[in-house]
Structures are given as structure tokens and as C-alpha cells.
Homo-oligomer: A and B are copies of this chain.
Amino acid sequence: MRTDICERLGIEYPIFAFTPSEKVAAAVSRAGGLGVLGCVRFNDTEELEETLSWLDDNTDGKPYGVDVVMPMKIPTEGKAVDLKAMIPEEHISFVERTLQKLGVPPLPEGEGREGVLGWLHSVARSHVDVALNHRPVLIANALGSPPVDVIEQAHDAGVLVAALAGAAKHAASHVANGVDIIVAQGYEAGGHTGEIASMVLTPEIVDAVGPDVPVLGAGGIGCGRQVAASLALGAQGVWTGSIWLTAAEYDLSQGTGIRDALLRAGSGDTVRTRVYTGKPARLLKTKWTDAWEAEDAPTPLPMPLQNLLVADAHNRMNSGDDPDTISMPAGQIVGRTNEVRPVEQIMAELVSEYEETVARLEKIRG
């Protein structure tokens, strides 16, 4: 399974794995795909520095990428403490009331930490600076085009830039800004996502950006039949995320709640909501997301305030063992992850099922 993007990035299979876990990213790269480390969780650039050094050392010299969260337009900026002052009292008391109602225990002594700051422009920019001291082959931006100077900074370092798009017009504008690769993020995807489903979105973006711009299909990809479908739609590769959250190598969860919730969830157990960051993102449907749909719930705040509001609550819920009260981005493909498996096995099955599928299509063609 080889497309042009494999040559450009020096990878064996056009399978891109977005993951916050460096262990998973490294294993995907070693298995011939491209592990792409999500950087948004790193408030501390030194921790990112160390993690990327670890990746450098543990990918058998194979390529990897990084993913940042950087709006094109610089949003409200400032230190966490200033921003927190902008959060209405009504929202704070709703979060506290909800945690109490759901019986979420406080964090264990000494385990508190500040909210995720990676949503802040200045922090995302520092992620790029740190990454470029290492050897990523790709910087992806989860919120579309990064600012043009960041694209130039990456290009000067010989690094390609990918940007997520949920509509053809956004993809065209990313390309005009200098983005090299478009990730066509369908409605069914986890995390930030638009309303057009992959079946329609992928060929629409492929047609909009033309044959010289590689498009990766994202949203709903978890088995080799789906890889084949995405490539049939014109993608040069697939961008996967949710299927790696239950990989054996994934070790970011403190409690068992998240993994249990992911393993048991069906494709109908997700919801697209502004609860996580202030922009629409697909999450597992839990008692927490249900609470935000209730009549007494306030309207979520704009980015970056909403995540600052809920970050502590997420830490408290996600460090526990209760799968009913977690906050976790996941796509509809979560219905397909029903057991913990090593990355190498998941990769091998994606590739072999792709091959079987193409043989079947060939037979249908007659």
C-alpha cells in the first residue's frame, strides 16, 4: 500500500496516527506508518522537549510528526490567571454542582495541575519552536491553517505542514496559505469536527485542491475496508486517531475509566458538542456530556475559556475508574475498538484488510 505521500515522507504505509501518547506514536512509526504526537497536553515545554528526545531515540530512525492546536487568527491571549477571571460565576458553579451530582471524587493529594494551555496561541507556538529542534517530518494543525510565518518556519526547516479541514473552501484557503497536506476531517471524526461526513467531504476536498495537494481522509477509519474506502474517495492516506486510544502501548490514563468507556462504547455513543473547548468537537457520550445538554446547563464559553473552565473537572473525572463520568474526544469508530491490542497488530490488520478489500473490488469489477 504505497502512495506518493509515502515517498515524500519516507514512510512505508500512508497511515497517519494522531495520538497524545509518545509510546503509541513511536510504535506506529516503527510499524511503517507515521506516528503524530499531539502536543496540546504539554503545558511545560521542557516536558515536550524530553518527550521528543525520547521519540528521536525510539523510532528506529523512522519518521514521525507532531500536532499542535493553533488558530489562524490569534485569539484572546494571556496567562491562565487573567483568562480565568473572564469565566462567569454561573459556569463555575454549574461545573461544581455537576461534579458533586455525579459523585466525582477530588484528585488524589498532590495530583492537581493547571488547565491545558496548549489551546493558547503562545503555547502552541512554543510547541512548534521545540519540535523544530528535533526531527519531525510533519507539523499538523488541528484548527486549520497555522499563521503564515509558522508555515514558513516549518518549511525553512524542511518540515511539511498539514492542516485539518471540515469543508472544501477551508481546504482551498489552507493551500493558499502554504499548507502542504490537507486532512479532510469528516463529521464522524473525534475531536474538532464539522458537519460533512467523510463519504462526501473527502472527494469534495480532493477535487477542490487538485491533484498536487495530498489529502488524508479522517473520520471513521478503523479497519482496512475503511482505509480502502478513503483511498477510493481520492485520499492519498488516512488520518486515524480514536483506534489508538485502546492500543496496548497507550499509557496516559491514570484510572481505568477512560479505557473501559472506550472499549464498551458503540458507534452511537458519541456526541458533537462545544463542551470540551468551545468549538464543536466529538466526545464520548457520558453523564458529563449529558449534564451539559440538560435544561439548567449554561451555554459553553468560547475557546480558550471553555477548556480552562472544565480542565480541572476533566482531570478529576479522567483519573478515576468510572466510565460513566469521563470527558474524552473519540470518533464514531470507537464502536470498533472492543479490545486492547498492540499497535503492530492493529497496523498489520489495516494493511492486510486493505489488500483483501482491493482484491474483492477487483473481482467485482470483473
A197 to chain B, nearest CB (A): 4
A365 touching B358 by the CB < 8 A rule? yes
The docked-state distance in angstroms from the alpha carbon of A158 to that of B27 is 54
Q: Which of A79-87, A223-231, A294-302, A303-311 contacts B (4 or more CB under 8 A)?
A: A223-231
For A173-213 the 0/1 string (1 means CB < 8 A from B) is 00000000000001110000001111111011000000000
Interchain nearest-CB distance for A224 vs B (Å):
9
Chain B residues with CB under 8 A of A232:
225-226, 228-229, 232, 357-358, 361
Whether A1 is near chain B, meaning CB under 8 Å from some CB there, is: yes
Give the chain B neighbours of A234 by CB distance below 8 A. 225
Contact A361 B197 (CB under 8 A): no
CB distance from A327 to the nearest CB of B (A): 20
Contact of A188 among B187, B222, B366 (CB under 8 A): B187
For the complex, is A97 an interface residue (Cβ under 8 Å from B)? no
Determine whether A267 belongs to the interface, using a CB cutoff of 8 Å to chain B. Answer: yes
Q: How many copies make up the complex?
A: 2
- Asked if A3 CB lies within 8 Å of chain B CBs, one says yes
Contact of A267 among B196, B223, B229 (CB under 8 A): B196
Partner of A187, one of B187, B225, B333, B366: B187
Judge if A167 is at the interface, Cβ distance under 8 Å: yes
Q: How far is the CB of A239 from chain B (nearest CB, A)?
A: 13
* A226 to B199 CA separation, bound complex (whole angstroms): 7
Q: Is the CB of B233 within 8 A of A219?
A: no
| Contact A197-B203, Cβ < 8 Å, known A229-B233, A358-B358, A364-B231 | no
Say if the beta carbon of A221 comes within 8 Å of chain B. Answer: yes
Contact A203 B225 (CB under 8 A): yes
Chain B residues positioned under 8 Å from A90 (CB to CB): none
List 9 tightest A-B contacts by C-beta distance, closest first.
A199-B220, A229-B229, A197-B197, A188-B197, A228-B232, A229-B232, A200-B332, A200-B220, A198-B199
Does A354 sit at the interface, judged by CB under 8 A? yes
Q: In the complex, what's the smallest C-beta–C-beta distance from A223 to chain B, in angstroms?
A: 6
C-beta contact mask, A220-264 vs B, less than 8 Å → 1, else 0? 111101101111111000000000000000000000000000000
| CB neighbours of A221 from chain B (8 A) | 199
From B188, B203, B204, B364, A199 is in contact (CB under 8 Å) with: B188
